[in-house]
Amino acid sequence: MNVLYCGDNNMKPGLLISILSLLKQTREPLNITILTAFMQNKSRHFYPLTAETTAELDALVKQDNPANRVTRVDVTALVAANPPTANLETIFTPCCMLRLYADQVPTLPDKLLYLDTDVICRRNCQLFYHQDIQGIEVAGVLDHYGRWFFHQNWEHFDYLNSGVLLLNLKEIRRTGLFARSRELCRNREMFMPDQSAINSLAAHKRLMPRRYNEQRRLKANTVFQHFTTSFRLFPWVHTLTVKPWQVADVHSKLKLHEYDDILTEYEKLIVTL
């Protein structure tokens, strides 16, 4: 199974938890690639995930299966050659757009399971990964809130959340989806820029059931749980953002103990990563 993560050195906590969840739920070999880069905007510098951290993650996954591997690809030069200029100052880290450079990495395989680092794999995801995506650029799940506000086709919901995507990189290269998305991010400021670009430009996408990217509350059939910001009505209208590595808040605010075995292992390992 080919898996893709993207981000800077701050991704370590989420990356570790997400990888631990895949190790728990997946029996086939994992080929994990991490796209990382140096980026900067007016207020911050974002440094690449280190080679040392990558080596430690690679050693960790090989303990479970010697055929597993974690590979780091530094795409700083690709980003510098075509930066997402118009979206460097949004409320979202510009590193979220690194996935849009995947088509320029020749070593990446044709099919990739892309995961945000705040996604936990709860059940075996082989049915999702091994679906036939011939002629499809991306497969994913509707965005829980965005589907109501953003549409390409007003006859039905079609706005995907980009936190869990099955990518047909061969088709994406053929259609130029990511190349056009990079151009859009360079020239037009957008809310959730990479997600908006993919949704507005993808001509061939497949909508999958909610269980493959649960963005609200854990359900019995949830395969991937995505820890996004949600709106809560009680005791007052407010937003709630809790990430998996905020273990105390996962317990106290989300009342969630589903992943305690993974989080316990995470707390032991993160101190040395």
Structure tokens at 134: 């011939």
Choose between 99 and 239: higher pLDDT: 99
pLDDT at 25 over 60: yes
Percent with pLDDT over 90 in the chain = 85
Helices (DSSP H) in the chain: which residue ranges?
12-25, 51-64, 76-81, 126-129, 146-149, 169-175, 177-187, 193-201, 247-252, 260-269
DSSP three-state, residue 140: strand
Q: What is the mean pLDDT of residues 187-209?
A: 94
pLDDT of residue 236: 44
Taking only the tens place, the pLDDT of each residue in 40-49 is 999 999 999 9
What angle do the packed helices 12-25 and 260-269 form, to 10 degrees? 130
pLDDT of residue 170: 98
Distance in angstroms (rounded) separating the CA atoms of residues 117 and 35: 12
**Which CATH architecture group holds 2-229+261-272?**
Alpha-Beta Complex (3.90)
Prior bond of 235 cis (ω within 30°): yes
Taking only the tens place, the pLDDT of each residue in 136-169 is 999 999 987 655 455 655 566 688 999 999 999 9
Distance in angstroms (rounded) separating the CA atoms of residues 16 and 218: 21
Taking a C-beta distance cutoff of 8 angstroms, is the pair 202, 101 a contact? no
Alpha-carbon torsion angle 150, 155, 160, 166, nearest 10: -160
Distance in angstroms (rounded) separating the CA atoms of residues 142 and 125: 18
Taking only the tens place, the pLDDT of each residue in 213-256 is 999 999 999 999 999 976 554 554 557 899 999 999 999 999 99
Give the β-pairing of 2-6 and 31-36: parallel
Taking a C-beta distance cutoff of 8 angstroms, is the pair 98, 5 a contact? no
